[in-house]
A and B are shown apart, each in its own frame.
Chain A
């Protein structure tokens, strides 16, 4: 499977306190890739690097098989971008903004633009600068989808939107992807939102890519175990112990948070004289929190 986005050892220092380090992203073509991370982890900086808005000091970046920044016009012609902060000209009306935007894209789909405008109930005579946050988000998604992109780069597209607008925006995105098979790279700190439709996930923290894997692996691999009489030292376990906490007071036994878990690994506990009482699936958000916790204090 080829990658729609591929970065190798990308480095970029933003200030004394923050830099992107050794970024090696692999976003498979046709995937919906959730780019997770807490605020300030480097998601937006990464997106700016991907789109050539920032230059990396080291490493290489390729989008749709072309090199960034050398082939930017070709890449941008096939890439729909929804930025975190609206970037459209405030003085234009919606109709003018759509017409202006369409002039730059040879693959512009006027029918899709009009159909999305109706679906989103956007008034073409309304000024962009006077739109609500939800309406602006819809307009940005409309512009990105109507240009018929092979790759969609969305930076927190639903951040701050109410649930109704969020649903509208996400369903339009999913409709497009199901029709056209485009690759979606979507950043968010709203973990539960991505859980529903992403098939790949990458997690950023402090300027580094902490994890990158298929969503299924991520969700199924991280478990919370209730262990009775666990060994003091865990050194030969077939899984990765992320966290170990004393009993929660409700039930007996320690709480272990583990990664790369498989059912057959329960034998380990019999071998070390412990008893495995319960295996609980963690949702993406819990897994995400545990992953970050381990990353930030690896010896915890």
Chain B
């Protein structure tokens, strides 16, 4: 049963998984292009760190994109047939959802591994100046966690009905309206910023996407 669900899931998200894996492998290699020598001057070290920082934003974006593609593709075909097929299969709904979720996770191992291999190759190929260190394992774990978080969130959102999407949008709309009312009444509270901060700082669900995503760091 799981194998067949995995097979269909693979069929629906091949492009996302393959492209994600290729980019995940290539990204760490690109970040170490032009890495300095072991006895690099201070200015060169600084330049290397700046380069690393400029590449760092692409890792969480890639994790989000891969999670989005695989998470949403898990339910697209069921939405088209109004979930009638899934609901008439002889297994509890929760089990079907878990199988689907598990199948997506298995497929996501490909981009996770690709990044780990790419980071490993990049770290071993680059000459890291003294005082700096390569963190391929930490980067890989961080990327894997970010992919799982992104996938889980988009999987959950896309599993909902149009009505659920309506509820989510209504909540977002209500927050924006409340923020506007605050502003009109001269209040200084910035609700949107506060919510965003809560989401991207610990223990917010998107904390994993913020912070330092550097293969080579101090």
Query: Which A positions have Cβ atoms within 8 angstroms of B?
Result: 51-53, 72-77, 81, 83, 85-92, 96, 99-100, 103-105
User: Would A105 and B11 count as touching, CB distance under 8 A?
Assistant: no
> A87-B81, A91-B77, A103-B1 in contact; A81/B7 too (CB < 8 A)?
no
Q: How far is the CB of A150 from chain B (nearest CB, A)?
A: 12
Which residues of A are found within 8 Å of B81, using beta-carbon distances? Answer: 86-89
Q: For chain B, residues 74 to 96, give those with C-beta under 8 angstroms from any C-beta of chain A.
A: 77, 80-82, 84-85, 87-92
Q: How far is the CB of B169 from chain A (nearest CB, A)?
A: 24
Interface membership of B55, Cβ < 8 A = no
User: Would B88 and A53 count as touching, CB distance under 8 A?
Assistant: yes
Interface membership of B206, Cβ < 8 A = no
CA of A92 to CA of B81, assembled, Å: 13
Closest 10 CB pairs of A and B: A77-B90, A76-B90, A103-B4, A87-B84, A87-B85, A87-B81, A89-B77, A103-B1, A100-B4, A104-B89
Which residues of B are found within 8 Å of A73, using beta-carbon distances? Answer: 90-92
Which residues of B are found within 8 Å of A83, using beta-carbon distances? Answer: 84, 88
As a 0/1 sequence over residues 103 to 132 of chain B, the CB contacts with chain A under 8 angstroms (1 = contact) are 000000000000000000000000000000
State which of B5, B80, B82, B90 has its C-beta within 8 Å of the C-beta of A90: B80
> Nearest residue in A to B4 (C-beta to C-beta)?
A103
Interface membership of B8, Cβ < 8 A = yes
State which of A74, A75, A88, A103 has its C-beta within 8 Å of the C-beta of B85: A88
Report, as a range, how many residues of chain B touch the other chain: 20 to 34
As a 0/1 sequence over residues 1 to 20 of chain B, the CB contacts with chain A under 8 angstroms (1 = contact) are 10111011001100000000
CA of A23 to CA of B107, assembled, Å: 47
Cβ-Cβ contact count across A and B, 8 Å cutoff: 59
As a 0/1 sequence over residues 195 to 216 of chain B, the CB contacts with chain A under 8 angstroms (1 = contact) are 0000000000000000000000
> Nearest residue in B to A129 (C-beta to C-beta)?
B80
Interface of A is mostly: loop
User: Would B77 and A51 count as touching, CB distance under 8 A?
Assistant: no
Which residues of B are found within 8 Å of A76, using beta-carbon distances? Answer: 88-90
Which residues of A are found within 8 Å of B3, using beta-carbon distances? Answer: 103
User: Would A89 and B85 count as touching, CB distance under 8 A?
Assistant: yes
State which of B7, B11, B87, B90 has its C-beta within 8 Å of the C-beta of A104: B90
Q: How far is the CB of A110 from chain B (nearest CB, A)?
A: 14
User: Would B90 and A105 count as touching, CB distance under 8 A?
Assistant: yes
> A73-B90, A104-B89 in contact; A99/B4 too (CB < 8 A)?
yes
State which of B4, B11, B87, B90 has its C-beta within 8 Å of the C-beta of A74: B90
State which of B12, B85, B88 has its C-beta within 8 Å of the C-beta of A91: B12
Q: How far is the CB of A107 from chain B (nearest CB, A)?
A: 10
User: Would A100 and B8 count as touching, CB distance under 8 A?
Assistant: yes
Which residues of B are found within 8 Å of A75, using beta-carbon distances? Answer: 90
| Pairs A–B under 8 Å by Cβ, sample size 28 | A51-B87, A52-B87, A53-B88, A72-B92, A73-B90, A73-B92, A74-B90, A77-B90, A85-B84, A87-B81, A87-B82, A87-B84, A87-B88, A88-B81, A89-B77, A89-B80, A89-B81, A90-B80, A91-B11, A92-B8, A96-B7, A96-B8, A99-B4, A99-B7, A100-B8, A104-B90, A104-B91, A105-B90
User: Would A90 and B77 count as touching, CB distance under 8 A?
Assistant: yes
Q: How far is the CB of A47 from chain B (nearest CB, A)?
A: 11
16 additional A-B pairs beyond A89-B77, A100-B8, A103-B4, beta carbons within 8 Å, are A53-B88, A72-B92, A73-B90, A75-B90, A77-B90, A83-B88, A87-B85, A88-B81, A88-B85, A89-B81, A90-B77, A91-B11, A96-B8, A96-B11, A103-B3, A104-B1
CA of A8 to CA of B9, assembled, Å: 41
State which of A53, A86, A87, A92 has its C-beta within 8 Å of the C-beta of B11: A92
CA of A105 to CA of B88, assembled, Å: 12
Which residues of B are found within 8 Å of A99, using beta-carbon distances? Answer: 4, 7
> Nearest residue in A to B82 (C-beta to C-beta)?
A87
Which residues of A are found within 8 Å of B82, using beta-carbon distances? Answer: 87
Which residues of A are found within 8 Å of B4, using beta-carbon distances? Answer: 99-100, 103
Which residues of A are found within 8 Å of B8, using beta-carbon distances? Answer: 89, 92, 96, 100
CA of A85 to CA of B82, assembled, Å: 11
Which residues of A are found within 8 Å of B11, using beta-carbon distances? Answer: 91-92, 96
CA of A86 to CA of B84, assembled, Å: 9
Which residues of A are found within 8 Å of B92, using beta-carbon distances? Answer: 72-73
Which residues of A are found within 8 Å of B87, using beta-carbon distances? Answer: 51-53
